[in-house]
Amino acid sequence: MIIKNILSRIGQMIVVLFVLSSITFILMKLTPGDPVNKILHLDIANVSSDQVEATKEKLGLNQPVVIQYFQWLGQIVQLNFGTSYQTGEPVIKELIYYTPPTLSIAFLTIVVVLLTAIPMGILAAKYYHTWVDTFIRTVTSFTVSVPSFFLGTILIYIFAQKFNVLPSSGIDTIAGYILPVIALSVGMSAYYVRLMRSNLIELYQSKEVEASRLRGMSERYILWGDLFKPAILPVITVLGMSVGSLIGGTVVIENLFGIPGIGHFLVDSIRARDYPVVQGAVIMIGFFVVLANTVSDLLLLWLEPKRRFNNTRHLKKRQRQDGEI
């Protein structure tokens, strides 16, 4: 079942990346501006028309769009994203250099979110309708609506400019990750605290909990033995689906904190009309989003073996129905 799930996800990944690359290619061609203008600096330099045509021919931009598209697809199949117009380096080499900071920020953000949301969600549910629950709900109601870039600006002012205890830009040291991760994780944590709280409150009212209490089970056992796993499963599901928005959030944060990540590189490439880099970066981001969803699904199958049995039984039932038809 797990192998089938992996193969299914690989097929979905191929389809998603194909559609994503096609849409990106079309949008880049429809976007106003010419990469040749950026490369030759036509706005400030006197360049002959022969040089312009020679540059277009060198980059393959003088060919029909359809031919450019199929050449692009042929390169993608060979894992060749082309050459950057800005640096002249292979795009895959540039992406390998800029991707680790983005993945590090995203991974650390997920860790902080889980370490914050799970305990606070448990506290809010355990002390339902007390001052603890009210305090947590009030704080999360405020922080969930604060944009990450706004919070990042405040953090830079307080910790970098006012007290000068943390760097405002760059990731030369581990301390450089602290402010970006906080800026991204505060809003996300608030959402998952509320999700964990609502899951547990609903589960506390179930018949299983009532039966456990009648058997004399402790509240500690009920929480960790009966409720924790079914409460955490929806959190993992939603977290896997929100990786795309998380990586999208790093684009803003990287530009705010001056972090040389794939988001910062993508914005610079869009401004320079560097088509190969933009298309390669979008495909790279799409790959990691689909990969995160796949890992989330596999983790759910591991945590809940019943899901594998139910999926197999549903598949066999559907096959019998198709055979009867």
Tens-digit pLDDT profile for residues 191-209: 999 999 999 999 988 888 8
Instruction: Give the pLDDT score at 312.
Output: 43
DSSP string, 290-311: HHHHHHHHHHHHHH-HHHHHHH
> What is the predicted pLDDT for the residue at 321?
42
Task: Please give the average per-residue pLDDT across 120-135, as a whole number.
Answer: 92
In a domain, 89, yes or no: no
Average pLDDT for 222-237: 88
Q: Are 122 and 235 in contact (CB under 8 A)?
A: no
- Residues 132, 39: one domain? no
Q: Judge whether 201 lies within some domain.
A: yes
Q: Determine, yes or no, domain membership for 202.
A: yes
Please give the pLDDT value at position 134.
Answer: 93
The pLDDT of residue 170 is above 70: yes
What is d(CA 195, CA 235) in angstroms, rounded to the nearest whole number?
A: 7
Tell me, what's the pLDDT at 105?
A: 92
Give 177-194 pLDDT, tens digit per residue.
999 999 999 999 999 999
Q: Does residue 114 share a domain with residue 44?
A: no
Give yes or no for residue 93 having a pLDDT over 80: yes
Rounded Cα–Cα distance for residues 94 and 145 (Å): 35
Does residue 61 share a domain with residue 110? no
User: Does 318 score more than 70 pLDDT?
Assistant: no
pLDDT value of residue 316: 45
Residue 240 lies in a domain: yes
| pLDDT at residue 129 tops 70 | yes
| Average pLDDT estimate for 120-129 | 92
**Which of the listed residues 20, 52, 77 is the one where a domain comes to its end?**
77
Residue 257 lies in a domain: yes
**Beta-bridge partners for 83:** 90
pLDDT at 133: 92
Indicate if 241 and 191 belong to the same structural domain: yes
Same domain (yes/no): 217, 71: no
User: Is residue 56 domain-shared with residue 170, that is, in the same domain?
Assistant: no
Average the pLDDT over each of 121-125, 144-148, 245-249 and give the range with the smallest value.
Answer: 245-249
The number of folded domains in the chain is 2
pTM of the predicted model as reported, rounded to 2 decimal places: 0.81
User: Bridge-partner residues for 90, per DSSP?
Assistant: 83
Mean pLDDT of 296-310: 69
Whether residue 255 is contained in a domain is answered as yes
CA dihedral 20, 32, 276, 68 (to 10 degrees): 80
The percent of residues in the chain predicted with pLDDT above 70, rounded, is 90
Distance CA 183, CA 146 (A): 10
Q: Are residues 72 and 146 in the same domain?
A: no
Would you say residue 268 lies in a domain?
A: yes
Q: Which of 50, 77, 104 is the last residue of a domain?
A: 77
Domain end among 44, 77, 110: 77
193 with 123, same domain?
A: yes
Q: What is the mean pLDDT of the chain?
A: 83
Range of the domain at 70: 2-77
**Do 70 and 99 sit in the same domain of this protein?**
no
**Angle, vertex CA 249, rays to CA 247 and CA 252, nearest 5:** 120
pLDDT of residue 283: 86
Query: Does one domain contain both 115 and 217?
Result: yes
Burial class (CB in 10 A: 0-12, 13-18, 19+), 324: exposed
User: Are the CB atoms for 160 and 233 separated by under 8 Å?
Assistant: no
Q: What is the pLDDT of residue 186?
A: 93
Instruction: Provide the pLDDT confidence category of residue 325 given band limits of 50, 70 and 90.
Output: very low
Same domain flag for 145 and 263: yes
CATH number of the CATH domain containing 271: 1.10.3720.10
Report pLDDT digits (tens) over 33-91: 777 776 766 666 677 777 777 877 777 777 888 888 888 888 888 888 888 888 888 88
Looking at the domain assignment, is residue 86 inside a domain?
Answer: no
| 40 and 168 both lie in a single domain | no
